[in-house]
Amino acid sequence: MTGFLVKRFLQALVVLFLVSIIVFVLLHMLPGGPARAILGPKGTPQQIDQFNHQQGYDRSLPTQYFMYLKRLFTGDLGDSYKLNSPVFELLKQRLPKTLLLTVLSTALAVVIAVPLGLLQAVRRGKASDYALTGLAFLLYATPVFFLGLIMIILFAQVFPVFPAEAPQGESIGELLGDFTGLVLPVVTMAFGIVAMFSRYMRSAVLDNLTEEYVRTAMAKGQSSRRILVRHVLRNALIPLATLLGLYLPTLFSGALVVESMFNYPGMGLLFWNAAQGSDFPVLLGVTLVVGIATVLGSLLTDILYAVLDPRIRSVA
Amino acid sequence: MTELQLTDAGPGTPAPLLSIDDLHVDIASRDRTVHALDGVSLDLVPGEALGIVGESGCGKTMTALSVLGLLPPGGTVTGGRILFDGQDLAAASAPTLQDVRGNTVGMVFQDPLTSLNPTMTIGAQVAEPLLLHRAGIGRKEAWARAEEMLRLVGMPQPAERMKNYPHQLSGGMRQRVAIAMALVCEPKLLIADEPTTALDVTTQHQILELIDNLRQTLGMAMILVTHDLGVIANRVDRVAVMYAGKVAEQSDVRGLFARPRHRYTEALFAALPERAADRGTELHTIPGLPPSLTVRPTGCRFAPRCSFATQECREREPELELSVEPSVEPEWGLVGAAPAAAGQDAEAAKASPPSGHRFACFHPVPYGDAPAEQVVTPPPATATEPGEVLLELDALVKEFPLSGGPFARRRGTVSAVGGVSLSVRRGETYGMVGESGCGKTTLGRIVAGLEEPTAGTVRFDGRDLSGLSRAERRAHRRRIQLMFQDSTAAMDPRMRVGEILREPLVIQGVGSRAERERLTAELLDAVGLPRGAVHRYPHEFSGGQRQRLGLARALTLAPDLVVADEPVSALDVSVQAQILNLMRELQRERGLTYLFISHDLAVIRHLADTVGVMYLGRLVESGPAEQVYAHPLHPYTRGLLDTVNVPDPAAASGGEREPLRGETPSAAQPPSGCRFRTRCPFAAEVCATTEPPVSTPNAAGHQVACHFPLAAPRLASAV
């Protein structure tokens, strides 16, 4: 098990290295190069040369990449053009908040989706299955901004239970302190995920119910309910683990809409503002973080696999 | 033991433990309802072993499943009762059924690979029934008893195995776990549904022995469901033969095998390759297919396939009636000790008509007829002249790398074929026999050009295949064709039969369009399929018809050699006989050469001129079929022959059989020297150090690779 994790972690490092190369290449694909991007269309050729020399952009590409890596390791991702602050500082401030939003909404989604999927599978073909399936598709097809809008209208305006704006604290502690403000963004984000996860859960449970080990468990005298909990659940969670890992980076960027909607001070909002202001260092910094999230997501999948499925543990 | 011995029939007949009475089961799917069971009645006294035998779809498994209320989705009991211990299980509530399942009735299923939960430890799975049914038992005690049960089913190192997961065990060991699970609450009845069908011959034997022993120790009754007449002959007291959702015949086991009365039973026995008088004999076949059971057939269900059927058979349904012959002494209560008693009583059974023998047939096999043999048509006796050598393998080696992925280091090699040399003559059938993992399939794939050998040469018609250019190799392909076990999987499901048959011709650029069509029509004639089949898809055909298609596809390019890899293993006995006859007939007509790969010793014996026996990548013995079977020289061959379940209760009890023990070691670390030495009763030090040389101590052409070949010729085996 440990050997498997170490191996998997080393593989993740290799992929992260590749991610850094891609981000580096993106940096150099900016229209007119970074100098033009910063100095704007009015920058004179002299200014551009000077800028390139200062930043080392006139050196060879491998040297530049090496310098870029060195800066990366020291946490230097450049400075924001607009916010007058190092990108690293901005990310350090915003990332935990987005993580909080993502983790809370994913956890909520899993907690709702797993029993929901089980229920649907057990009631397959009955009215409740069709109703829940219909609702799931409706939620799945609804754009997040529209869902958020409905939530705001319903729960902040018609029935003013929760505030329409997310808490604006500096630290996680402050955010959690103002919990009611978190409810609407978290629930909005979770709803879209629930729809997808419960569909997967339903079909995974249905697949497993036809497996012969379920018949064996019945032949032992287990009740249907306990067969679901003791035998089927763990096996059915295996495909869900794949989905979770693959979905993590999407969730991360999905936070973008929710954050800008509820004015939640996370990375999504940062990215949104940076994109509108052509703040390239910030955009690239966020891209790097999303890249890392993707790699970590698939690492998470593998860890979950190994926890859930003993067959994978022994292959490694 | 005493209470298991004899239970008198007659007035003192013990109350049955299980009594199935006029059971009707329907299986409803979206568009149709199958009447899977239509009035099945069976009785079982405590301690008795009942075999239910029949071909696929006859309802034997449904009968077994309905006892525990485990029918598949859509399945319902629509009539009849299942009385077990005074309770009607057919009408029982879910909690009542749950109380019986795993507690007083244990069940073992066919496939040990899928019937265990992959994410639970062995210990948790074996202890589960105890925790369910033994109120107040603690987890600790349940685990201790589970471990004890594992020891009882012959699991080595049970304490460590408790913590293992199913995938860490071999198939045979997993089936032992399944048995331990079924028996841990010491049930009164064990239902075993094809418990050994997915296992190798030697493992099969070990599992059946184990069930036998446990049955005697625990004194339980058993229902053994199987399609294998060899298994049923040696392991049960009484047999029910099922056909199309009904019991066709019921009798004590020796009576049934010695004197089948129902025409279906008779035909089933006659279709066995073991019962064919000799090699080269046509096998008796049963024409047609069983009815579909979506509508209840009128009259006898076997009538459309029965050569004795009359108008009466087609109009009226025969009842299951007691055999009217003067019955001497009822003895169907004979329990438990059947295999031991069979030897002495075999003669007696033949002399006096068996009692309690019921069958549902208007025109039964008359008494006094010699069964089975008579039905076999006389041999056409065309001993093919051995031609020149067509295929020659020289020190053929195939190794597969073992690695864990693109970044992982190579962790070793699997030696699938470890130096095999043999030659196949034109026009003969070379039968390659061995257990799963012995390398026979890999060998076949190399011969067919689907795998490159790691070392050694394949010479075909005098030419070394490794020396061929790409174009030559392509052209050469047409001369060797493959026939698979599962022809459905081997055909593109979206292509029509016509396209499938024409495709090889198109690829090789043979003939014009019209010629190709003529050729496929001729092929369909040859394999006995209607010409209209070209417009249909593979899934529209039955298993036997698909094998006919597989054969037709293999013959499209008029090959010299057909490599047939387990072509009849998935088929029922009666259909198997049709395919084997067809293969033989086409061989005669077209001068084909077969490399016939199978695990089934009886099929190989029936069909092959020359036999090769493989064990763990090595050819341990080869030679003319009669010689190898009559005087096996290698201890493995002899062990295999002794392990096989002969479909004859009388023959099986004949004393000194020495079945193979142990399991085949991993091909990733084959034993040094002789690879069989770890399981060989004669192994000495030299076997571990030196690879055994090939010798011919018996007769020229009969080769053996063994340091201590068996010297004494033994009596012809009953296979």
Judged by phi (left if over 0) then psi (alpha if -120 to 50, else beta), residue B322 lies in beta
**Residue B481, token pair as written in the block:** 């064709």
- Is there a domain that residue B538 lies in? no
What's the rounded Cα separation, in Å, for the pair B707 and B674? 9
Span of A80-94, B3-17, B484-498 with lowest mean pLDDT:
B3-17
Q: Do B109 and A215 touch (CB under 8 A)?
A: yes
- Is there a domain that residue B382 lies in? no
Residues with Cβ within 8 Å of A283's Cβ and at least 6 positions away in sequence, in order, are A271, A274, A275
Contact B696, B627 (CB under 8 A): no
- In this structure, the answer to whether residues B361 and B449 fall within a common structural domain is no
Residue type, B369: D
What's the rounded Cα separation, in Å, for the pair A264 and A167? 7
CA distances from B169 to B197, B376, B535 (A): 18, 44, 46
Q: Is A302 exposed, middle or buried (0-12, 13-18, 19+ CB in 10 A)?
A: buried
Helix A267-276 and helix A233-262, axial crossing angle in degrees, nearest 10: 50
**Buried (b) or exposed (e) across B294-321, using 16+ Cβ within 10 A?**
eeebebbbbbbbbeebeeebeeebbebe
**Pairs from B501-510 (Cβ < 8 Å, separation ≥ 24):** B501/B534, B501/B549, B501/B552, B501/B553, B501/B556, B502/B556, B504/B478, B504/B553, B504/B556, B504/B557, B505/B556, B505/B557, B508/B474, B508/B475, B508/B477, B508/B478, B508/B557, B510/B557
| pLDDT tens digits, one per residue of B314-337 | 999 998 888 765 444 444 444 443
Half-sphere exposure of B126 (CA within 13 A, CB side): 36
- Is there a domain that residue B415 lies in? yes
User: With contacts defined as CB-CB under 8 Å, which chain B residues touch A314?
Assistant: 165, 167-168
Report pLDDT for B336.
40
- In this structure, the answer to whether residues B699 and B564 fall within a common structural domain is yes
Q: Do B106 and A219 touch (CB under 8 A)?
A: yes
Beta bridge partners of B279: none
Which residues 53-92 in chain A show a CB within 8 A of chain B?
Answer: none
Residues with Cβ within 8 Å of B683's Cβ and at least 6 positions away in sequence, in order, are B674, B676, B677
- In this structure, the answer to whether residues B11 and B137 fall within a common structural domain is no
- Is there a domain that residue B516 lies in? no
- In this structure, the answer to whether residues B99 and B212 fall within a common structural domain is yes
Residue type, A155: F
Comparing alpha-carbon positions, the chain B residue that sits nearest to A208 is B117
Q: Which of B101, B114, B178 sits opposite A211 (nearest CB)?
A: B114
Comparing alpha-carbon positions, the chain A residue that sits nearest to B182 is A220
Cβ neighbours, 10 Å, residue B329 = 9
pTM for the full predicted model:
0.82
What average pLDDT does this structure show over B211-233? 92
| pLDDT tens digits, one per residue of A48-70 | 888 888 877 778 888 888 888 88
Tell me: pLDDT of B421 over 90.
yes
Tell me: pLDDT of B624 over 80.
yes
Cβ neighbours, 10 Å, residue B578 = 22
Judged by phi (left if over 0) then psi (alpha if -120 to 50, else beta), residue B565 lies in beta
Which residue among B138, B163, B184 closes a domain? B184
- In this structure, the answer to whether residues B284 and B367 fall within a common structural domain is yes
Q: Tell which of A220, A229, A231 to mutate to test the B interface (max B CBs under 10 Å).
A: A220
CATH of the domain at B564: 3.40.50.300
Q: Which of A221, A224, A314 sits opposite B102 (nearest CB)?
A: A221
Report pLDDT for B426.
93
Which residues 199-218 in chain A show a CB within 8 A of chain B?
Answer: 211-213, 215-218
- In this structure, the answer to whether residues B131 and B273 fall within a common structural domain is no
Supply the mean pLDDT for chain B: 85
Report pLDDT for B433.
94
Judged by phi (left if over 0) then psi (alpha if -120 to 50, else beta), residue B105 lies in beta
Q: Which of B102, B114, B167 sits opposite A219 (nearest CB)?
A: B102
- Is there a domain that residue B487 lies in? no
Q: What ranges do the domains of chain A cover?
A: 2-73, 94-315
What average pLDDT does this structure show over B663-673? 88
User: With contacts defined as CB-CB under 8 Å, which chain B residues touch A221?
Assistant: 97-103, 129, 132-133
User: With contacts defined as CB-CB under 8 Å, which chain B residues touch A234?
Assistant: 119
**Helix, strand, or coil (residue B596):** strand
Report pLDDT for A205.
95
**Higher pLDDT among residues B499 and B381, named by residue:** B499
Report pLDDT for B8.
42
Tell me: pLDDT of A200 over 70.
yes
- Which parts of A142-232 fold into alpha helices (H)? 144-152, 172-177, 179-209, 212-220, 224-226
Comparing alpha-carbon positions, the chain B residue that sits nearest to A12 is B407
- In this structure, the answer to whether residues B276 and B369 fall within a common structural domain is yes
- In this structure, the answer to whether residues B199 and B142 fall within a common structural domain is no
Q: Is the sign of the CA dihedral B370, B375, B378, B380 positive or negative?
A: negative
Q: Tell which of B128, B131, B161 to mutate to test the A interface (max A CBs under 10 Å).
A: B128
Q: Do B70 and A221 touch (CB under 8 A)?
A: no
Minimal CA–CA distance to B192: which of B85, B56, B181? B181
Q: Which of A221, A224, A231 sits opposite B117 (nearest CB)?
A: A231
What's the rounded Cα separation, in Å, for the pair B432 and A108? 60
What average pLDDT does this structure show over B394-407? 78
CATH number of A94-315: 1.10.3720.10
Number of domains in chain B: 3
Minimal CA–CA distance to B111: which of A170, A40, A213, A154? A213
DSSP state of B290: -
Question: The tokens 């808490």 sit on which residue?
Answer: A167
The ipTM of this complex is: 0.79
User: In degrees rounded to 5, what are phi and psi of residue A89?
Assistant: -60, -45
Comparing alpha-carbon positions, the chain B residue that sits nearest to A310 is B119
Contact B258, B237 (CB under 8 A): no
Cβ neighbours, 10 Å, residue A50 = 14
Q: Which of B94, B102, B119 sits opposite A220 (nearest CB)?
A: B102
- In this structure, the answer to whether residues B198 and B170 fall within a common structural domain is no
What's the rounded Cα separation, in Å, for the pair A151 and A168? 19
- In this structure, the answer to whether residues B191 and B64 fall within a common structural domain is yes
What average pLDDT does this structure show over A232-244? 90
**Residue B426, token pair as written in the block:** 């034109």
- Is there a domain that residue B94 lies in? yes
- In this structure, the answer to whether residues B131 and B210 fall within a common structural domain is no
DSSP state of B56: T
Q: What is the signed CA dihedral for A186, A190, A192, A194, rounded to 10 degrees?
A: -170
What's the rounded Cα separation, in Å, for the pair A60 and B115? 62
User: With contacts defined as CB-CB under 8 Å, which chain A residues touch B103?
Assistant: 221
User: With contacts defined as CB-CB under 8 Å, which chain B residues touch A7?
Assistant: 407-408
- Give all strands of the β-sheet with B410-425 in edge-to-edge order: B410-425, B389-403, B455-460, B463-464
- In this structure, the answer to whether residues B56 and B83 fall within a common structural domain is yes
A9 near B CB under 8 A: no
Beta bridge partners of B38: B24
| pLDDT tens digits, one per residue of A88-130 | 888 888 888 888 888 899 999 999 999 999 999 999 889 999 9
Which residue among B160, B184, B208 closes a domain? B184
Q: The domain containing residue B155 runs over which residues?
A: 118-184
- Is there a domain that residue B500 lies in? no
What is the Rg, in whole angstroms, of the alpha carbon atoms belonging to chain B? 27
Which residue among B324, B347, B373 closes a domain? B373
User: With contacts defined as CB-CB under 8 Å, which chain A residues touch B129?
Assistant: 220-221
Q: Do A220 and B101 touch (CB under 8 A)?
A: yes
DSSP string, B182-218: HHTT--SEEEEESTTTTS-HHHHHHHHHHHHHHHHHH
Beta bridge partners of B389: B425
**Residue A208, token pair as written in the block:** 């497993």
- Is there a domain that residue B381 lies in? no
| pLDDT tens digits, one per residue of B7-26 | 444 445 678 999 999 999 99
Residues with Cβ within 8 Å of A67's Cβ and at least 6 positions away in sequence, in order, are A56, A59
B interface with A, Cβ–Cβ < 8 A, is 68, 70, 94-95, 97-103, 106-107, 109, 111, 114-120, 128-129, 132-133, 165, 167-168, 178, 181-182, 404, 407-408
Q: Residue B20: which H helix or E strand, with range?
A: strand B18-28
